[in-house]
């Protein structure tokens, strides 16, 4: 134990915070690691471009090209980040035998066995996502909300297949599987009918959720979005749509908020406690939007800290499913992945080290300028000494060692891929 940790521990103890208890708790909180940062959301079931209003930008070399390379990179990220993790897999990451192929409406658990093997190796759960984009059956930009019945049927079948695969993940790992429904359905220009696509989307999701599953183990959620690239005028799955849908089907799904999916001055940190008043559980996609839903890697920045603070002080660590969702192709992808994961872990630790009870009391007693001063004081407590200790105990690099570790992997593994 470092002397810096010892002295920081005393400082926190004076504020009523038991750093030992915090470190013990933090390491049990799972964060879902998105497989799609490693290959720019490409997957293994198609050769076409990324569609659905999302975009990766940049041409940094060494992207993972095969399941083996992607898993190798994931294992590296796991090895250099502390704490509990889950894997987050998209349906387009189905792994087929040589010469085998089935379309997305026909995928089965066996196509994801290798993901289960990886998860078991690290005692992790798996979250899942049907892939309603980057596919020839996206017709005129629409999937589950398409007026074309054949198209809609195909995508409903895909959603149902994904429920069955989610159930397989939950059974194999013994850990609930969060299955997120997001589509990029929408229009570039002003639509003539806004309600029709939403009614069809509602019906489609209801049909998907009619596939039998145990809600204790399979946790479907509906992700909303304000707009996407090329889909600027109208999004079928808007904020109001997704929230209302989840509220109406509370016994079988929950809302998912992605903090890149709102107007720039809206903050998800404020929405978390609002939703927790009504929903037993909610899900998050944690990202960093820069001017648009750019999906930059998460940083230890103000809004990230604020989101974690809300989860912790609402005492909701077991009510909020936390998943990362960003994709940066402009820098070393492992660095982007791991910095994002560590940033969210830091944000949670930071939140757990804030004397929230004391601050809450000041608010309730109306001592607002004392609160103002003490909230600022809390920001400069010796957080980094606790974080370094957490990393040391987990056997992962501390901040000072981190770059060298990434650089070594780039030289020894990634650079050989070119």
Instruction: Just list the catalytic residues.
Output: 182, 223, 225, 258, 261, 285, 293, 295, 325
Residue 86 in contact with Zn ion, rule: CB under 5 A: no
Long-range contacts of 74-78 (CB under 8 A, 24+ apart): 74/33, 74/35, 74/38, 74/118, 75/118, 76/334, 76/338, 76/409, 76/413, 77/33, 77/334, 77/337, 77/338, 77/341, 78/33, 78/122
Q: Are 38 and 73 in contact (CB under 8 A)?
A: yes
User: Please, which residue, 181 or 349, has the CB nearer to ligand RNT?
Assistant: 181
Which residues from 141-180 bind ligand RNT, rule CB under 6 A? none
DSSP code of residue 44: S
| Choice from 285, 309, 342, 346 touching Zn ion (CB under 5 A) | 285
Cβ atoms within 10 Å of 248's Cβ, excluding its own: 11
Calculate the alpha carbon distances from 230 to 46, 52, 374 in Å: 21, 8, 46
Residue 223 in contact with ligand RNT, rule: CB under 6 A: yes
Residue 41 in contact with ligand RNT, rule: CB under 6 A: yes
CB of 191 to ligand RNT, least distance (A): 19
CB of 269 to ligand RNT, least distance (A): 18
* Residue 36: contacted member of ligand RNT, Zn ion, none (CB under 5 to 8 Å, by partner type): ligand RNT
Q: Are 92 and 98 in contact (CB under 8 A)?
A: no
* Residue 321: contacted member of Zn ion, ligand RNT, none (CB under 5 to 8 Å, by partner type): none
Q: Are 60 and 332 in contact (CB under 8 A)?
A: yes
Q: Which stretch binds Zn ion (CB under 5 A): 254-262, 332-340, 349-357, 363-371?
A: 254-262
Residue 127 in contact with Zn ion, rule: CB under 5 A: no
User: Please, which residue, 167 or 325, has the CB nearer to Zn ion?
Assistant: 325
| Per-residue binding letters, 290-319, with ligand RNT (x by CB under 6 A) | ---x--------------------------
Residue 325 in contact with Zn ion, rule: CB under 5 A: yes
Which residues from 90-129 bind ligand RNT, rule CB under 6 A? 90, 129
Q: Between helices 149-173 and 195-208, what is the axis angle to 10°?
A: 40
The secondary structure of 304-359 as a DSSP string is HHHHHHHHHHTT-TTTEEEEE-----SS-HHHHHHHHHHHHHHHHHHHHTS-HHHH
* Residue 238: contacted member of ligand RNT, Zn ion, none (CB under 5 to 8 Å, by partner type): none
Distance from C-alpha of 308 to C-alpha of 22, rounded to nearest angstrom: 14
* Contacts to ligand RNT by CB under 6 A: 36, 41, 54, 90, 129, 182, 223, 225, 258, 285, 293, 325
* Contacts to Zn ion by CB under 5 A: 258, 285, 325
């Amino acid at each position: 134990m470092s002397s810096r940790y010892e002295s920081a521990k005393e400082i926190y103890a004076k504020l009523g915070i038991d750093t030992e208890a915090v470190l013990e708790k933090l390491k049990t909180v799972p964060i879902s690691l998105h497989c799609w940062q490693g290959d720019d959301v490409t997957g293994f079931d198609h050769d076409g471009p990324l569609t659905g209003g999302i975009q990766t930008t940049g041409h940094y070399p060494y992207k993972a090209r095969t399941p083996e390379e992607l898993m190798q990179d994931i294992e590296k990220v796991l090895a250099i980040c502390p704490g509990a993790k889950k894997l987050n897999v998209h349906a387009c990451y189905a792994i087929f035998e040589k010469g085998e192929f089935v379309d997305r409406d026909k995928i089965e658990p066996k196509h994801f066995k290798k993901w289960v093997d990886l998860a078991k190796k690290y005692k992790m759960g798996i979250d899942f996502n049907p892939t309603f984009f980057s596919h020839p059956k996206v017709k005129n930009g629409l999937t589950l909300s398409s007026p074309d019945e054949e198209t809609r049927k195909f995508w409903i079948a895909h959603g149902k297949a994904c429920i069955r695969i989610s159930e397989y993940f939950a059974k194999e790992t013994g850990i609930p599987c969060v299955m997120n429904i997001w589509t990029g359905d929408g229009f570039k220009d002003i639509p003539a009918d806004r309600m029709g696509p939403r009614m069809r989307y509602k019906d489609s999701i209801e049909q998907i959720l009619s596939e039998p599953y145990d809600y204790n183990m399979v946790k479907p959620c509906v992700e909303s979005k304000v707009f996407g690239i090329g889909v600027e005028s109208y999004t079928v799955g808007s904020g109001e749509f997704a929230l209302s849908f989840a509220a109406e089907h509370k016994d079988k799904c929950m809302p998912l908020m992605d903090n890149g999916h709102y107007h720039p001055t809206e903050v998800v940190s404020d929405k978390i406690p609002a939703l927790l008043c009504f929903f037993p559980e909610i899900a998050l996609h944690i990202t960093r939007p820069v001017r648009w839903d750019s999906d930059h890697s998460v940083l230890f920045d103000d809004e990230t800290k604020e989101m974690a603070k809300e989860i912790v002080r609402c005492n909701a660590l077991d009510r909020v499913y936390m998943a990362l969702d960003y994709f940066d192709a402009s820098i070393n992808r492992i660095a982007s992945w791991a910095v994002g994961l560590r940033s969210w872990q830091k944000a949670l630790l930071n939140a757990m080290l804030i004397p929230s009870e004391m601050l809450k009391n000041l608010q309730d007693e109306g001592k607002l300028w004392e609160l103002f001063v003490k909230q600022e004081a809390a920001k400069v407590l010796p957080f980094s000494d606790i974080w370094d200790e957490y990393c040391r105990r987990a056997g992962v690099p501390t901040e000072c060692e981190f770059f060298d570790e990434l650089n070594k992997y780039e030289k020894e593994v990634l650079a050989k891929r070119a």
